[in-house]
Every structure is written in structure tokens, then in C-alpha cells.
Chain A
Amino acid sequence: MRKTRFLSTVLVALFFLIGLVLVPIKTSAASANVIDEVGIFSSQQLLDLDDLAYEISTRQQCGVYVVITDDMHGYSERKFAEGIFMNYDLGFGEGEGASGVILAISYGDRYYDCYAYGAAGDTFTTSTLDDLNDLAYQHLVNGDWYGAAESFIKRCDELLTRTGYQYYVPTYTDPPISQHITSTSPEQRRNEFLSRLPFVCLGSAAVGGISVAVMKGKNKNIGVATNADRYIVNNGVKLIDSKDVFVNRTRTVTHIARNDGGGGGGGSIGGGHTYHSSGGVHSSGGGHF
């Protein structure tokens, strides 16, 4: 009975694992500026909002995005907007040259937050993102999802124009995104996962082998003794001569390589604000509605 239960547990887990590997990854929605995974908007509303955001993004050369997800996608509140931005491969421009701002809303958690990346960080500072959060909240708290998205997109357009935003490719002192979780696409992560499986398999086999060897060892406890520690009499160890003689001293000096390419912190670019050296700008924190 126990054996059957154990085997069925293992099989369920195995099927789950195989399922994880084989389930197709959600396709990137990089081509869309407004993504509604939940179905909040009607088709027409979605089309209107997407057209509006796309027009502004193209004109300003800064991606403006609204993404409504069904849940947090496993991210913490702090990483939610950033993770969605990265995992949907958003932004005007490619890779490190991407520039954009996003309003990410988790329908299930009723959580929202804004995030900016790349050159957009010159316009969308932390305080600006906080203002955008406030703007979205005023609509979301009344259940006006369309209003929240539309006002966000339009306010982004105003801000980009007012601050004289210009697209450029920043040079980052740190890797673009410090967190692996937001720096890789789902496909990359799946490939990484698959590439590690053979090692997992070998490691598991090693653990299995060692476990069986330990079990086998339990069946045999004979062996020739190699020491007589327990037969040393009390106070039976007597040191007659004990000398520690200093012989010489050697010294090695290693030069520390310094990175003279500039500090790793923030930089003052464009509008004079400081943004994270990895390229992203967070708001002070999103909120629940």
C-alpha cells in the first residue's frame, strides 16, 4: 500500500515536471502595447488603447505599455512591474537600448505599479512614476479600468513631450538588470532549465547510489580495528619534549586590480536625476485598489 502511494506520488511529480518542460511558453506580446490577459476590455476598447499607445510610442520613440495580468506571475510586489516589462520583452529599441514605461496591473491581486527602463528613466523618475501610480489608482479604485489605462498613456505622452525626451542608448555600468529573474526571457529560462537536467539526473543517480551503499553498509559492521584509542590509560599521554621553532617568514604581495571605468552607482544623465545603474527606475511602490 505504502509502496503504491509512493510510486504514484513520484509519478504525479514526474508528470508535473514533464508538463513544465513541454507546456508551450506564452508567446511574447512584444508587438502589443496594451495587453489584457484577463479580458477586462472589450475588443474595441483594447484596439483603441493599443492604437493610442502604439502611436505615442512610435512618435516619442519610447514604449508606453499597459499590461493586465491575472496574477503576480510569481513576482514580489517590488519586482512585479519590472518582471512583466522584461519578460514580455517590452521597450522601444532592442536589448540594452530598450526604452519604455509600463503600468502593470494584477487583476487577481488588485495590485498595480509603474516601472520605466532605459532612456525613459530620464523622464519617468521615481516621483513621476509615483504620480502615475496615483493617477491610475483614482480610476482603478472606481473600477474604471479603461480610464486608468487611457489616462496613463496620455499622461506619459504629456510628460515625454514636456521633458524633451529623446531616445538614446545609455551605457550602463552594471549589467542591465541585476536580477536573473527579470533579465532572462521565459524561453531562455526554459533552455537553462533543460540544459541543467542532465546534471540533475547525474546528481540524483549519485545520491541514489550513495544511499544504497549506506543501506548496504548497514548489513555489515565487521572490520579490523586500526587504532587503540579507547585503551589509552587516563593521563597516559605524556609530552616529554614540545618545541615550536620559528624558521622564517615569506611574504607575497598581490596587486588589487581597480576598475577605473567609473563608479558603479547611478549616473546623472539628461534631466539631472539619478537612476539605477542597471537601467531601471522603480516607483516608491505600487499599491492595491
Chain B
Amino acid sequence: MADQVSNYKCPNCGGPLRFDPASQKLKCEYCDSLFTQKEVDEFYRQDELAAAAEGTDQKWETETGEWTAEEAAHMRAYSCPSCGATLIADENTAVTICPYCSNPTVVAGQFVTKKPQFVLPFQLDKDKAVEILNDFYKGKPLLPKAFKSKNHIEEVKGVYVPFWLYNGVMECRMNFHAEMVRQFSRGDEIVTETDHFKLVRNGTVTFSGVPADASSKMPDEYMDAIEPFDYTKLKDFDTMYMAGYMADSYDVDAEQDRSRSESRMKASAVKAISSSVSGYTSVAPVSTQVTRIDGAAAYAFLPVWLLSTRWNGNTYLFAVNGQSGKIAGDMPSDTALAIGFFIKITLAMFVITAIILYFIGGGFI
């Protein structure tokens, strides 16, 4: 079992270790000790050697419930290496937190078959994510006051979201019809000359790292809205970065996600090639053909803080880019406030415009 599920415990006090965005090291929640991955690995190696010498290797037993065939297909049960509690998770859970001992637990087995190539470590901590959410509430006149004042964040989760990062070269073949219009007067006549042109533009556009989230549980509109991520900070995958956060393995494979990224690349390729046409009075595309001539996808974990709140019986989700702090969310609007603003603005505009019209029109009193 130890090769499937593991977590990080403090070599000093045994408390759970979590990845600390500020120091980019593993930090003990209880004694604040900082460790590198190498130091922790060395500790465990020594620990295992000592245990082997004493012949006290612990043998974990995993209880298996009676799942239905359907449930069993999608559920997995793991045993927490710290407290021995059984962790139930879905088939894609890669990193979770034990509900009994709060130890972050890495389901290492997930990374055997679905190991990410890269991970982008968290740069923002939980407090900062909450602060960003509170700032997000500002400057929103239609946000119900009770939502702001009585709103309690129910859950804040640091999640490594599985993404496919697509590289690709799009070949774009476009034909345009363009016109150049000249107008001049000659005697009592106005002459309009229109020159017609056929334009050909063939070219390639190279893309790097177009992201598409690979988890069916993550709403695409949230993940797209918190782009971009700075890929220069990407690291080779290491489970150390997972400590303290949640993670799921992908359940949308690269082939399934490809169409979404390709449609984005195609739109940008057409725009880029079209921008090479200039100097004409009017231009209209006649034909457009875009094909991918090269492509590859890399599997990466990108950091996202997910915050959820409840108001009036509804759950509102917010996603914060764990690196840049860019936030995306969908908040409620107060209908009464909206009507009030509509009436005030309409009335004010009416009065101002009418007064201006009165004076422009010369007045009549």
C-alpha cells in the first residue's frame, strides 16, 4: 500500500507537511520547520531502514466495501498512511486530504499511469486567495449587500487542475477579395473608380502552451477565464508540490480536449494571417482553410484556488489563478437594485438631455 498512497510527515514532530508557496519548500503546519524534498526523502529512507532492521514493517490491510459494479468502476478506496483511515475517492483523485487527521495524501498510484510532465507550483497562499475574492466584491453596484456583508466562504481548496498544454503549428490558406476606391470630380461629374484585387495569403502560425483543462469536473468557462499562466515557472513533476493541495488526474484525454484548443488556435491563426492584409478600402475573405500540420500535448498540473460560498440556497463558485491571482466568478445581481439604478439613470438622462435640448433649441420662455 505504501507504494500507492503516501503523505509527508514532519521528521521533527510528525505533523503534516504542506507545500509552502512562499519558500517553495515543504513546511510543517505545527512546528513551522522547512524541508526540501531531498531532506524528507532521506528521513523516510532512514526510517524505513530502521523499521526493516527491527522487522516491524507495518502491514496495512485495506477493507473492501461492497460496491456495486457501477460504483466500483468509478470509486477507489485508499488507506491513510498516517492514521490508517480509509479514504474513499473517485477514480481520478490524485491528491486528497484525510478527513480524520488532515494529512495531505498523495495517491501515488495515479501518477504511475497518468503522471504529469510538469507542475506549476502555487505562488499564492490561501489567505491571499480569500483577500482576492473580497477585493472582487468591490465595484459591483448590483451585488446584493447581504451577499457581501453576510457572505461566508464555505470552502477554500487549493487544487492542482490537470491541463493539457497544446503546442501546434496551424497552416492557414486564405483568399480575399479586396477593393480600393478612389473618388474625384471632373467638371460636373463625380467619378468613382474601384480597383478589384484577388489576394492570396498562405502562412503558418505557431502556438505554444494553449491550455485546456483535462478534468470533466472543472467548468471550462472558469478555467479559461483565469488564464494565462506563466509557463516559465513550470517544474518537472514532483509529488512534493502536491502536499497540502488537492489534485485529480485527468479524465478527459488529450484527443478529446484537442478540438477545443484547435478551434482557439484556428481562430487566432485566421486573425494573424488576415492582419497581413492592409491598404485597401474594403476586404472580404473568399475562402479560408486551416489545418494543423504539427501538434503535441503536454500533461501538466496548474494551480487553482477554488472558493465556494452559499447565498439564498445557491452555491457560488470562484476560481483564482494560484499563480497570478486572476479571479473568475459568477455572482448574483439584486433585481431591486437593478430596477432602482435603471430608473435613476433613465430619469437623470432624461432630465439632462431635455435641458440640453431646451437650450440648444433656443428656449421658448
Interface of A toward B, CB cutoff 8 Å:
6-7, 10, 13-14, 16-17, 20, 23, 25-26, 74, 180-181, 184, 186-187, 189-190, 192-193, 196-197, 200-201, 203-205, 207-209, 211-212, 215-216, 218-233, 236-256, 258
Contacts and interface: CB of A to CB of B under 8 A. Distances in A.
Q: Is the interface of B mostly helix, strand, loop or mixed?
A: mixed
A126 B363 CA distance: 29
Nearest to B196: A247
A259 B257 CA distance: 69
A16 B331 contact: no
A181 to B, nearest CB: 4
Nearest to A186: B364
B344 to A, nearest CB: 7
Given A193-B358, A253-B190, A200 B350 contact: yes
Nearest to A257: B188
20 contacts: A6-B344, A13-B351, A189-B364, A192-B361, A193-B361, A203-B353, A204-B347, A212-B345, A216-B333, A225-B224, A227-B271, A229-B271, A232-B206, A236-B205, A239-B201, A239-B273, A245-B197, A249-B196, A251-B193, A252-B191
B140 A219 contact: yes
Q: Considering the complex of A and B, which 8 residue pairs feature the smallest CB-CB distances, nearest first? A: A208-B346, A236-B206, A204-B349, A241-B202, A181-B362, A225-B224, A186-B364, A204-B350
Contacts of B332: 219
A254 B193 contact: no
A247 B175 CA distance: 13
B225 A223 contact: yes
Q: Which of B189, B206, B338, B362 has the most CB of A within 10 A?
A: B362
Interface of B: 139-143, 178, 185, 188-210, 219-222, 224-225, 227-228, 261, 263-265, 267-268, 271-273, 276, 327-333, 338, 341-355, 357-359, 361-365
B272 A237 contact: yes
B357 A251 contact: no
B330 to A, nearest CB: 5
A139 B272 CA distance: 79
A71 B196 CA distance: 63
Contact of B358 (A20, A216, A258): A20
Given A222-B225, A239-B276, A252-B192, A25 B364 contact: yes
Given A241-B200, A252-B192, A256-B190, A222 B221 contact: yes
Contact of B199 (A23, A190, A227, A243): A243
B185 A256 contact: yes
B349 A208 contact: yes
A249 to B, nearest CB: 5
Contacts of B188: 255-256, 258
A212 B341 contact: yes
A286 to B, nearest CB: 20
Given A13-B352, A215-B341, A231-B268, 15 more contacts: A13-B348, A16-B351, A23-B365, A189-B363, A203-B349, A212-B341, A218-B139, A219-B332, A231-B209, A237-B206, A240-B202, A241-B203, A248-B195, A250-B196, A254-B192
